[in-house]
């Protein structure tokens, strides 16, 4: 089956290779053409335009940065929009529920079928075909396994990990809820780790107690090494994308009448990490913002207790020499 993938960044490139390995004919387009061209060696057909990729494809898989990019590439270009009739648009990036519903209405009006299927997991899972997939559509795609969607989802995930949530918008909401937890857990762990280190308490004792408790989450150990080394390496999921998702969550939470104090605080911390030049690093780089907040965010009482020297907030997390990370990787 001919499949087009629009967006061959960190995740899109891995999905291209995975689908080719599963026997799919894959056509790919990316705004930065070189990234699509690099996939030719893996058996992917690079396309010069999105319209070229969509033309002739049965399914168009979207891994673009956000809803604005989707609209610009797929719907604002009349040449591409004219090709949507009879095709299935499989939106697998992270966008807001209302954004997804709006895009669905426009795709349907153009004669296409729209399915949202955001994923949880990163590059290793995309490469192995073990992504967790949430589906929002008129019906569960497993009901029609002979259709184009179910086999493709099974190539990227595994049947027990493909979850039909409900109508379009519901899967997007679940995905944002999960990504909000990524931010909450990481910022919360960074803050606890920072206090443990600056108190002089041994980190290994802290982690032993944490692992034995109901408070433990595996992501803590997954990110611990990066945080202790203060080297945030090549990003599977960069800080800038986490900020985008938390802001989306905050907007949706406000619209739903929920208190947004927590996501607003998370956005502030992540924004401060980005202000330090860590936007393309692994999102565990939020530790740097926790350890050295802007002077304006340090309570006056703390500043006074430190003799007015807020620079101490940027000192070593381990009580020794401060090793600032310079590990910034290229964006996608």
Mean pLDDT along residues 96-117 = 98
Structural domain ending residue among the three candidates 117, 135, 168:
168
Mean pLDDT along residues 263-280 = 98
Residue 265 burial by CB count (10 A; 0-12/13-18/19+): exposed, middle or buried?
middle
Same domain, 162 and 189: no
Same domain, 46 and 178: no
Evaluate whether residue 324 is within a structural domain. Answer: no
Same domain, 160 and 40: yes
Q: Measured between alpha carbons, how far is 223 from 228 in angstroms, rounded to an integer?
A: 9
What pLDDT is recorded for position 297?
A: 59
44 or 328, which is more confident: 44
Structural domain ending residue among the three candidates 122, 149, 168:
168
CA torsion sign, 95 to 97 to 101 to 102?
negative
Number of domains, the chain: 2
Same domain, 164 and 222: no
pLDDT per residue over 69-103, tens digit each? 999 999 999 999 999 999 999 999 999 999 999 99
Mean residue pLDDT across the chain: 90
CB atoms within 10 A of CB 4: 27
Q: What is the CATH number of the domain that holds 107?
A: 3.40.50.720
Pairing of strands 131-136, 119-120: antiparallel
Q: Indicate if 17 belongs to the active site.
A: no
Evaluate whether residue 181 is within a structural domain. Answer: yes
Q: Is the pLDDT of residue 303 over 50?
A: no
CB atoms within 10 A of CB 331: 13
Same domain, 80 and 215: no
Are the C-beta atoms of residues 182 and 152 closer than 8 Å to each other? no
Q: Measured between alpha carbons, how far is 135 from 116 in angstroms, rounded to an integer?
A: 6
pTM for this entry: 0.87
What pLDDT is recorded for position 208?
A: 98
pLDDT per residue over 31-44, tens digit each? 999 999 999 999 99
pLDDT per residue over 281-291, tens digit each? 999 999 999 99
Mean pLDDT along residues 2-16 = 96
Evaluate whether residue 326 is within a structural domain. Answer: no
Evaluate whether residue 325 is within a structural domain. Answer: no
Same domain, 100 and 214: no
206 or 324, which is more confident: 206
Catalytic, out of 175, 223, 226, 240: 175
56 or 129, which is more confident: 129
Structural domain ending residue among the three candidates 168, 197, 219:
168
Q: Which residues of 295-320 are buried (b: 16+ CB within 10 A; e: fewer)?
A: eeeeeeeeeeeeeeebeebeeebeee
What pLDDT is recorded for position 330?
A: 30
What are the helix (H) ranges across the chain?
10-21, 33-37, 50-54, 67-70, 78-81, 97-109, 123-128, 149-156, 170-199, 203-211, 218-229, 239-255, 261-275, 286-291, 300-305
Mean pLDDT along residues 129-154 = 97
Evaluate whether residue 319 is within a structural domain. Answer: no
Q: How far is CA 318 from CA 4, 196, 229, 310, 312, in A?
A: 49, 9, 10, 18, 13
Angle between helices 10-21 and 149-156 (to 10 degrees): 110
Mean pLDDT along residues 118-130 = 96
Evaluate whether residue 331 is within a structural domain. Answer: no
Provide the token pair at 132. 């967790």
Q: Structural domain of residue 301, as residue ranges? A: 173-314
Q: Measured between alpha carbons, how far is 14 from 218 in angstroms, rounded to an integer?
A: 24
Same domain, 56 and 161: yes
Same domain, 13 and 133: yes
Evaluate whether residue 127 is within a structural domain. Answer: yes
Share of the chain above pLDDT 70, in %: 89
Same domain, 75 and 198: no
What pLDDT is recorded for position 235?
A: 86
> If DSSP codes are grouped into helix, strand and coil, which group holds residue 26?
strand
Mean pLDDT along residues 306-328 = 38
Same domain, 103 and 136: yes
Residue 241 per-residue DSSP state: H
Same domain, 143 and 212: no
């Amino acid at each position: 089956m001919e499949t087009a993938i629009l967006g061959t960044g960190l995740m899109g490139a891995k999905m291209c290779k995975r689908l080719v390995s599963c026997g799919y004919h894959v056509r790919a387009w990316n705004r930065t053409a070189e990234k699509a061209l690099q996939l030719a060696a893996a058996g992917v057909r690079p396309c010069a335009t999105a319209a070229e990729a969509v033309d002739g494809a049965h399914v168009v898989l979207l891994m673009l940065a956000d809803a604005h990019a989707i609209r610009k590439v797929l719907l604002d270009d009349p040449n591409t929009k004219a090709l949507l009739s009879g095709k299935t648009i499989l939106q697998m990036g992270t966008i807001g529920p209302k954004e997804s519903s709006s895009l669905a209405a426009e795709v349907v009006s153009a004669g296409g079928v729209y399915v949202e299927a955001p994923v949880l997991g990163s590059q290793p899972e995309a490469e192995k075909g073990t992504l967790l997939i949430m589906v929002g559509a008129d019906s569960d795609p497993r009901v029609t396994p002979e259709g184009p969607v179910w086999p493709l989802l099974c190539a990227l995930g595994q049947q027990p990990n493909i979850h039909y949530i409900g109508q379009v918008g519901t899967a997007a909401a679940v995905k944002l809820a999960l990504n909000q937890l990524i931010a909450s857990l990481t910022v919360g762990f960074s803050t606890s780790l920072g206090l443990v280190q600056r108190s002089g308490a041994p980190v290994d004792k802290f982690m032993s107690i944490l692992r034995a408790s109901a408070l433990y989450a595996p992501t803590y150990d997954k990110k611990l090494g990066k945080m202790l080394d203060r080297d945030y390496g090549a990003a599977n999921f960069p800080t800038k994308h986490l900020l985008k998702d938390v802001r989306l969550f905050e907007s949706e939470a406000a619209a739903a009448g929920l208190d947004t104090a927590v996501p607003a605080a998370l956005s502030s911390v992540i924004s401060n990490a980005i202000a330090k030049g860590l936007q393309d690093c692994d999102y565990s780089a939020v530790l740097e913002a926790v350890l050295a907040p802007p002077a304006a965010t340090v309570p006056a009482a703390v500043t006074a207790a430190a003799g007015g020297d807020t620079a101490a907030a940027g000192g070593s997390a381990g009580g020794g020499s401060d090793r600032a990370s310079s590990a910034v990787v290229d964006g996608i």
